[in-house]
Amino acid sequence: MQSKMNQLFVDQKSVHVLYAYSDMQKYMEQVLSYVQEGVLAGDYVILIENEPLYRMIYKGLNERLTEEQMKFVHRVNSFDFYFSSGSYHPPAIEAYFNKVVQPYVENNISFRSWAHVEWASMEEPLHLIEDFEKIVDGAVNQYSFPLICAYDGERMPDYLVKILMETHPYVLMEEDFIASEQYQSS
């Protein structure tokens, strides 16, 4: 499964993947493998993650990567990323993202990203996620980089699952990697 996904990253750099996780241990293994594979492939990795999980990921990466390789990992605090304007506002998130990737794009440096998408409650305006994911899908194609968007599968209502399947051309499941039949190009 990992080799199938990584081969796709080699064959076509623009890859936008939905990962709906249900088990935190498997989530950790996926993110650690993704970052390690990226670094070993010579990519910088932009890791958008919350502070508590990042501490565990950092510890795991230190066991897998050298000090020099760790310099390829750029962590972005997910709270700052998603709520930089004070609320979940797709244009503000897009501006923040563009600022983060600008040095890589301007200097023609290969990168990939992992974004852990979280929200405080189901009262959050989930329709904004559709707007955001369409923007992100366009950015993946424009800048030509792999991106995995990780969502807690237990917190995804059917409405959100439908949106995410329509905005991600690929889906990573715990044991498989498939093309989304519902994907609608932006």
DSSP string, 108-131: T--EEEEEE---S-TTS-THHHHH
In the chain, the percentage of residues whose pLDDT exceeds 70 is: 92
Q: Give the domain 2-179 fold.
A: Rossmann fold (3.40.50)
pLDDT at 55: 97
H helices, E strands: number in the chain: 8, 7
**pLDDT band with cut points at 50, 70 and 90 for residue 2:** low
In this predicted model, which residue has the larger pLDDT, 84 or 131? 131
pLDDT band at residue 16 under the 50/70/90 scheme: very high
Asked whether the whole model's pTM tops 0.95, one would answer no
Q: Is 181 helix (H, G, I), strand (E, B) or coil?
A: coil
Give yes or no for residue 122 having a pLDDT over 60. no
Sheet holding 44-49, edge to edge: 73-77, 44-49, 111-116, 146-152, 15-21, 170-172, 177-179
Distance between CA atoms of residues 127 and 158, nearest Å? 12
Q: Where are the domains of the chain?
A: 2-179
